[in-house]
Structure 1
């Protein structure tokens, strides 16, 4: 079985990406975990931009995430906003500076240059295969999928084209449908 070889490739690729991210972060005064948190917040929807969701997504403790978010807030990269319906819930929003950091750093240059050298067919095959490996790992470890809203079994499209979350029954925008959600449940086709 090629499991060891696959591990070796994925581990080496991850290390190269982390090294590039670390360089970018140092230039901006940030640690890799802080860039990862910013990246997540740039991609998640309004149901998933909470400290608990950041901890779930990154697989970190609440304490580590609390420290990370404190640095990001004091640096002016995120802002906290109380939930309108539940005062116990805090939402985290990127500032203009936070969004700029993400767009400058993610994806890292090393990955951009490597992927741009591949054919479109190769990029599509790699994307599909990595997605399948990720889904298998998430399923085997009973982890949340954090998939995009439009691929969720709760995502509903009305006859008039409007979108709605079947879990919260709230209306969704086109942009909402592209964002990732911690409540994501894959459809039978996406598993």
Structure 2
């Protein structure tokens, strides 16, 4: 069960970061895949800066990579150069504009903020570290937590039943183990520190 919880936390953190990444790239008329290609090209060597290597590294189809590279070339973020020894091979390299874009967009600001807060804390399990990281990312991003009902500020145990303080309604036992869009995390002094 612990492995599943850890996986779900990683999945949730990834979804939050992808959402933030989509917003950033959309603001400049690009998709996240464009940024992923640029980031790869910024760190690969001269033997790995080809269409095929990009497709293999990112797990994308050749068609997707080809279309992505065409867009990035039109926007002047990358250049193509034919290999001197094998004219069939085309090398890809970032232009100064492409390098500048990578510097401006990565890493995500919310992740840098979360990393700075979480790195000062010690954890007993990876699950605790991931849960804290997720909480910080959600707070910085001002997104809903969608946490488990029983971990909510509004959750309480009344005389012989569970109660939601927001709706003032009793809760079924099985609902307390499910996620809720109105979830309000219980204040965590570490997360709330500035």
Q: What is the Cα deviation at residue 52 of structure 1?
A: 0.6
* Deviations 1:105-147 (CA, angstroms, capped at 9, x unpaired): 111111111101133686xx98xxxxxxxxxxxxxxxxxxxxx
Deviates more, 1:112-121 or 1:78-87: 112-121
* Deviations 1:13-37 (CA, angstroms, capped at 9, x unpaired): 1111111111111121100111111
The answer as to 2:30 corresponding to 1:30 is yes
* TM-score, length of structure 2 as denominator length: 0.60
> Which runs of at least 4 in structure 1 moved beyond 2 Å after TM superposition?
118-122
Q: Secondary structure at 2:88's aligned position in 1? A: coil
Q: Secondary structure at 1:117's aligned position in 2? A: helix
Q: Which runs of 5+ in 1 are unaligned?
A: 127-191
The answer as to 2:21 corresponding to 1:16 is no
Match for residue 117 of structure 1? 117
Report the count of equivalent residues.
127
Q: What is the Cα deviation at residue 81 of structure 1?
A: 0.6
> Does the 8 A contact of 1:51 with 1:66 survive in 2?
yes
Deviates more, 1:17-26 or 1:113-122: 113-122
* TM-score, length of structure 1 as denominator length: 0.61
Q: RMSD of the TM alignment (CA)?
A: 2.4
Q: Which runs of 5+ in 2 are unaligned?
A: 127-194
Q: In structure 2, how many angstroms separate the alpha carbons of the residues matched to 1:24 and 1:85? A: 39
